[in-house]
Amino acid sequence: MAGELHLVVNGRRALARVAPRLAGDTVMVPARAAVESCGGTVEYLPGPPARVVIMLGGSRSEAVVGENQATAGTRLVPLPAPPVIVEDTMLVPAEVLRPLGIEVEVAEPARACLCGCRDSRLRGRRIFLDPGHGGSDPGAIGPGGTREAAVTLDVAQQTARLLGMAGAVTSLSRTSDRKVSLERRLAAAETRRTEVFLSIHANSFTDQRARGTETYYYETWESQKLASAVQQELVEELGLADRGVKEASYYVLRHARMPACLTELAFLSSPDEEALLADAWFRLRAALALFRGIRTFMDSAAARLA
């Protein structure tokens, strides 16, 4: 149906028998697929009246099919639309999940329902995202006119959104189409006492047959580990040619005082890969991969400090 959305839970595409959907302005979420991926439990009671009981981290929500209110603990929660059953799947409004600590947002134009809960690996961690180019410097321009600066900004903003849902403190070197010097990008990261610096780019080459994903670091073992985690997730998610993790003396890598890497998502000079980068769902998938790569690195960094 026209209102169906992709389901994403904690940075991964999730499978559900019935997809989440928009009913007017209300996001209806398949309860079991969203909650169990966050580590909670869902109990369906056929009734009558049919109801769902959701438990997560000691919190409880309960909702009844056809009723415009739910209970969260002892509190009544008004609902913009009642829960419904579609093909034996309980769809509940996002308001049923939020008291449990599950945030729900709709990512447009990617047509995705993002569900996420706080993650101890990322909560309070300071991440700096650097969308390459901007303003008078558009970066690479594909044969179809797709601009690198626009691609990198969208991917960075989607990545920041996912990190924020998980509890990270995220900053961007730019939030609009403007030019920011390399020196100012690094200065902003240092001012915010950044723990991880990730620069996002799209590749280009004179030969349109060049394609794939690659990620760069400079010298330090920690930066190499970050680059490896990011590259692995990008290749797994996007399915493009793996051009590997490489060392390079790019300014933002050479002068970074924290673990840093620079990733080239795909080749704008390739008509096929330009078409992918121009697609909002593909860009969101790139953001999912960057989110998971950062999470993996932060998890390993925390383990070393434990």
Give the catalytic positions in this structure. 264
Q: Is 227 exposed, middle or buried (0-12, 13-18, 19+ CB in 10 A)?
A: buried
Single-letter amino acid code for the residue at 22: L
- Distance (Å, whole) CA 102 – CA 268: 36
- Distance (Å, whole) CA 112 – CA 285: 10
> How far, CA to CA in Å, does 109 sit from each of 5, 131, 282?
10, 19, 11
- Distance (Å, whole) CA 158 – CA 110: 10
Q: How many CB atoms lie within 10 A of CB 251?
A: 15
Bridge-based pairing state of the strands 102-107 and 112-117: antiparallel
